[in-house]
Structure 1
Amino acid sequence: MGTDTETMLEDLGLSKTEAKVYLCLLDEAALPAATIADRTGTSRSSVYLILRSLVDKGLIDAGAGYSSRYHAAPPGRALGALLERERLELENRKQQVDLMLPGLTAQFEQNARADGELVEILRTPSLVGERFDRLQSEARTSIDIVVRGPLQVGGPNDAEVAALRRGVRARAIYDDAILADPVVARNLAGWTSEGEQARVYPGALPMKFALFDAHTVVMPLVAPGVTGVVAIIVRNHELAAALEFLFDTLWTASTPLKQV
């Protein structure tokens, strides 16, 4: 058997030397440790550790006594033992994750709620789209968006639909001009049918931004002579509160979409 088989055995959790020793024994009758070391290029000082590891993993069997011979276990039993070992290790990792997750989540949320300002600068449209989708996926209670052109992200916005389906409230204020944008025109009915509350502002909106859980703000930066900076993310309660007040003011001045 060739290198491909060795590689597959390594993928199942064996070291390169363990894979080589098992394949050597698979092609031979029972062999003593010294012969196995010579045929696989393994030092005699370490071959016993390798053989003991393979015995523990169920891939080889050993006779009794110091000069015992080793032989390969049947592949069905050997590979089944490897899979079971991997399954148990995976289950153990899962239990460790379950134990760590509450504490790590609490630490993350405590830092996210901290009064200190945290700012991220997003310099490409693709990064804006990725982070926007992630914030929608992480939203727990609310998503409020002021939408005016030009759009920096597009598509059906599956992340918002998923948020609506898990009970997040989503409100969006559109201006007249953006309703003609192909992305909005194509998807708006689907968003509202999923539960998005949409209103239209009578005129040009003064700015655009998105507010998540009344805490995290995403806002594009448009400045003459400034290139490369596309948007910022700010986690700050004071700024979020001010923009929430602005959003509610614009919301009151807007018309429900079904009446347009």
Structure 2
Amino acid sequence: MTDDQLKDHLCTLGLDPAAVEVYVWLLASGPAGHERLATELDLSPDMVRQRLAILYQTGLVTTIGPEDGTASPVEPTAGLQRLARTREAELRAAEVAAVNAYRSFKREVWQHSPDDIVEVITAPHVAERVELEESTASSEVLRFDSPPYSTPSGPNDVEVANLRRGVTYRVVYARAAVRQPDYYNSNIQPCIGAGEQARVLPTVPVKLTIYDGKLAMVSLSDTGAELNRSMLLVRQSSLLDALYGLFETSWRAALPMHLGTKEPSTLRPVERRIIELLASGITDAGIAELLGISRRTLSRHVESLTTRAGVVSRFQLAVYACRNGWI
């Protein structure tokens, strides 16, 4: 590979062309201090420092001579991977911008047709499209969550990252989702801990996610969705308004899954989890399995909680917990 080809490839990855010139020279000539680089490349000292700073930050160059600041190339795999990931994120953002520009064109120039409102996404593009739309959400994500799941259970890293940057999540879980110990522990709990507002219903009508009130992704909630793995993408329309209304109605009817800020200081973590799961409608066997405790231990905790709340049934305990800010 020629130096010019290498320069082109590095620039394609997003590395500054001026820094590329210094990096290619170091690869050809070996480690060098600031003064030599300035002389050989006909650069000012400030220009040398600026270009080396880019290479240091990227992970392509290190300092081997602390006294004179001798710069030397290092094994580039990690640095190049970082550049590639950054470039990939930029390309995705560019794709979203182009798609949004086209949608604006369609709205302003052409009249809507059914094809503009609903788009069918099929495998193997479903997971990629979901990640793309969710990663670009800016204000609020609404979701109906129910099995089956086409991806392995695990934390939703995109959601956690969105929550950290201020995106609101409201999720209504089907009871069948909460009853899956692996999914509950590795996905639901981490998302609630990161700030997700979660509620539960016995069932949800569809598997649905609405992004910023502008776009919805809908799939079936039964086994047909797992086999077909197709999804409908619904853009702004009366259909999207209806889906939004369906979510809000279900949200008001659902029971909270997360604890409020008014719980008594004496409420232990395991007791908070028990109340949360009782309010979700999970059976005793399911609660014991999710918490990794015996049925007898669960019964002792529930008896203690009902006594503390001054009630006689688990239903009354759940009502008391809701009214008094425990959940």
How does the TM-score come out when normalised to structure 1? Answer: 0.57
- What number of residue pairs does the alignment pair up? 180
Residue 128 of structure 1 aligns with an amino acid whose one-letter code is V
Which one of the candidate residues 125, 148, 151 is aligned to 1:150?
Answer: 148
Relative distance call for 1:109 and 1:172 in structure 2 (3 A) is same
Contact 1:210 1:217 in 2 (8 A): yes
What secondary structure does 2:218 align onto? strand
What is the CA–CA distance in structure 2 between the aligned matches of 1:180 and 1:192, rounded to whole Å? Answer: 16
Q: Which residue of 2 aligns with 1:230?
A: 230
Q: Which residue of 1 aligns with 2:267?
A: none
What is the CA–CA distance in structure 2 between the aligned matches of 1:224 and 1:249, rounded to whole Å? Answer: 25
What is the CA–CA distance in structure 2 between the aligned matches of 1:143 and 1:179, rounded to whole Å? Answer: 20
Give 5+ residue unaligned stretches, structure 2. 9-20, 22-27, 30-36, 52-89, 259-275, 280-327
Residue 133 of structure 1 aligns with an amino acid whose one-letter code is E
Give 5+ residue unaligned stretches, structure 1. 14-56, 58-73, 88-96
1:250 aligns with 2:250: yes
Residue 158 of structure 1 aligns with an amino acid whose one-letter code is D
What is the CA–CA distance in structure 1 between the aligned matches of 2:3 and 2:107, rounded to whole Å? Answer: 47
Contact 1:192 1:198 in 2 (8 A): yes
Q: Which has the larger radius of gyration?
A: 1
Structure 1 residue 134: Cα displacement: 1.3
Structure 1 residue 123: Cα displacement: 1.8
Written as runs of structure 1 = structure 2, the 5 A alignment for 1:25-40 is: none
What is the CA–CA distance in structure 2 between the aligned matches of 1:81 and 1:224, rounded to whole Å? Answer: 67
Q: Which residue of 1 aligns with 2:213?
A: 214
Structure 1 residue 110: Cα displacement: 3.0
Q: Please, which moves more after superposition, 215-224 or 225-234? A: 225-234
1:10 aligns with 2:5: yes
Residue 149 of structure 1 aligns with an amino acid whose one-letter code is P
What is the CA–CA distance in structure 2 between the aligned matches of 1:105 and 1:78, rounded to whole Å? Answer: 48
Which one of the candidate residues 80, 95, 101 is aligned to 1:107?
Answer: 101
What secondary structure does 2:155 align onto? coil
Q: Which residue of 1 aligns with 2:118?
A: 119
Structure 1 residue 112: Cα displacement: 8.3
Contact 1:179 1:185 in 2 (8 A): no
Structure 1 residue 170: Cα displacement: 0.5
Contact 2:172 2:251 in 1 (8 A): yes
What is the CA–CA distance in structure 1 between the aligned matches of 2:244 and 2:171, rounded to whole Å? Answer: 12
Q: Which residue of 1 aligns with 2:239?
A: 239
Relative distance call for 1:80 and 1:167 in structure 2 (3 A) is same
Which one of the candidate residues 132, 135, 145 is aligned to 2:133?
Answer: 135
Written as runs of structure 1 = structure 2, the 5 A alignment for 1:47-86 is: 80=41
Contact 2:141 2:212 in 1 (8 A): yes
Relative distance call for 1:77 and 1:188 in structure 2 (3 A) is same
Contact 2:135 2:162 in 1 (8 A): yes
Relative distance call for 1:225 and 1:183 in structure 2 (3 A) is closer
What is the CA–CA distance in structure 1 between the aligned matches of 2:140 and 2:117, rounded to whole Å? Answer: 20
What is the CA–CA distance in structure 2 between the aligned matches of 1:168 and 1:104, rounded to whole Å? Answer: 23
What is the CA–CA distance in structure 1 between the aligned matches of 2:130 and 2:40, rounded to whole Å? Answer: 45
Q: Which residue of 2 aligns with 1:39?
A: none
Structure 1 residue 225: Cα displacement: 11
Contact 2:126 2:229 in 1 (8 A): no
What is the CA–CA distance in structure 2 between the aligned matches of 1:128 and 1:244, rounded to whole Å? Answer: 21
Query: What's the Cα RMSD here?
Result: 3.9
What secondary structure does 2:125 align onto? helix
What is the CA–CA distance in structure 2 between the aligned matches of 1:256 and 1:149, rounded to whole Å? Answer: 19
Structure 1 residue 191: Cα displacement: 0.5
Relative distance call for 1:174 and 1:228 in structure 2 (3 A) is closer
What is the CA–CA distance in structure 2 between the aligned matches of 1:113 and 1:165, rounded to whole Å? Answer: 33
Relative distance call for 1:211 and 1:111 in structure 2 (3 A) is farther
Q: Which residue of 1 aligns with 2:172?
A: 173
Q: Which residue of 1 aligns with 2:203?
A: 204
Relative distance call for 1:225 and 1:180 in structure 2 (3 A) is closer
What secondary structure does 1:12 align onto? helix
Relative distance call for 1:168 and 1:257 in structure 2 (3 A) is same
Q: Which residue of 2 aligns with 1:67?
A: none
Task: Give the structure, 1 or 2, with the largest relative contact order (CA under 8 Å, sep 6 or more).
Answer: 1
Q: Which residue of 1 aligns with 2:60?
A: none
What is the CA–CA distance in structure 2 between the aligned matches of 1:12 and 1:78, rounded to whole Å? Answer: 21
What is the CA–CA distance in structure 2 between the aligned matches of 1:245 and 1:140, rounded to whole Å? Answer: 20
